[in-house]
Structure 1
Amino acid sequence: ALASLFSRRLRWSLAGLVACVVALAVALWVVTDIHPLGAFYLTLLDLFAIDDPAIGQSLGRQILQLLSGLVGLLLLPVLLAAVLEGLGTFRTASALRKPPRGLGGHVVLLGLGKIGTRVLTRLRELDIPVVCVEADPEARGLATARRLRVPVVLGDVTQEGVLEAAKIHRSYALLAVTSADTTNLEAVLYARSVRPDLRVVLRLYDDDFATAVYRTLRVAHPRASTRSRSVSHLAAPAFAGAMLGRQVLGALPVERRVLLFAS
């Protein structure tokens, strides 16, 4: 909307200048007794400093010309502020949002690659608040996050302060779905050090390593909810069943495996 480009203070300033121009035009019409359109035209000439001095005319006309010139001087900074504010609004609209200060009860999504982008889209379809963390400023999911107006924290999750910027201490759950096992594991371990009862979903590729990590996390944090999933293990049985011409009815993940129902 046009009103969103400019602040309320700037709109009031523009309205005040328009009111001054109208008042000066009416005063010139009364003082000089010329046509109202002519008075408005002369006022605009004075306002924009177009050289037409009121030499030899009445004192009222000369005073009004000086006042119109003063209003014209006031108009320049207001127009400059309007241009800068409009550019700032467009820049803000095209930039990534930052997490609001009082945000809480959201899901922290780590990674905006192929899997992370699909997860983000699904979470927003369910109207679940999300804050994304991504280290690559050219990640494929940043465009989706910008389109969905989802807050994004750009930075390496292994660096101090990145998860804090995503409000991990007030979040509902952490989804670590990057393509790097060590990054996902380190993020989960750090998040658990901040909040031992945090619900986490951890994506790991190496199955033996994932099994050990999953069981260790469950033992270390028995009060928390932990899930470890392999995207390959989840997708492979359904893919193989479809290739064999089977009608896949459903899949039930059981720890690091998946139970496939097919006809």
Structure 2
Amino acid sequence: MVQLKAKIIYNKKFKGDYWHCIIDAPLIAKKSIPGQFVNIKLSDTLEPFLRRPFSIHRIGSPAKGNFLPKTIEILYKIIGQGTEILSGRKKGEYLDIIGPLGNGFDYTRTHEHTNTRTILVAGGMGVAPLVFLSEKIKAKAKVALIGARTKAQVLCEKEFKNSGCDVKIATDDGSAGFKGKVTELLRQVLLTNSRTHELTNYIYACGPKPMLKAVAGIAKKYRVSAQISLEEHMACGIGACLGCVVKTKTGYKRACKDGPVFEAQDII
């Protein structure tokens, strides 16, 4: 973990209310693993007082041919004062950043295993850390299930495809792909596989709490191992304030320090 002033390389609207920011932070980039996050001070004043956590979406800029771990990328949606301020920050300005923070995903169990299928389940902004993960996992079989309310809110389909994933979409209104929740699509994918006994599945998921709870239940039913990344409100981001504790089978854990990634069966 390091704290530094990092220059904004790019900060523009990505899609709808979603923004894409690229930051020159090689000291953070080279240490980052999928599932970790950064805590950013968004203004030079005391408003807002607290830093804001953002999942590391990617390191480097693969789409532009830069595979060196020099930059970090984040995706964000304007939902309040903090993200509104961030959307107004310009190329060449500096951000005060702490990172990388958190534990990240353990993807060694699926890495390059020929008999294992990796299933990435993303709900809304949950795509952010999973794109980074999909680019790291070299498994032969990778499936990305992207959930959104409408077609206009489907994020990162191209990025998942470019990383070698078979991409399936679920929208609440049926405007793209499967009509229904992404967890219903997950159930369908697992049911098809259980009939053929083709591959051992492993799930990685990130998204809203109700979605993650459903993923955990489905994983238990089909006896599939799953890791989930929790989207919790945080204050300090380093485990000191206990403002982001979650209940687990072994007691309360700090989402920022012990997480944000947990084994699905451990969360109560």
Structure 1 length-normalised TM? 0.33
Please say which structure displays the higher CA radius of gyration: 1
**Hey, which of these two has a bigger chunk of strand by percent?**
2
After TM superposition, the score normalised by the length of structure 2 is 0.32
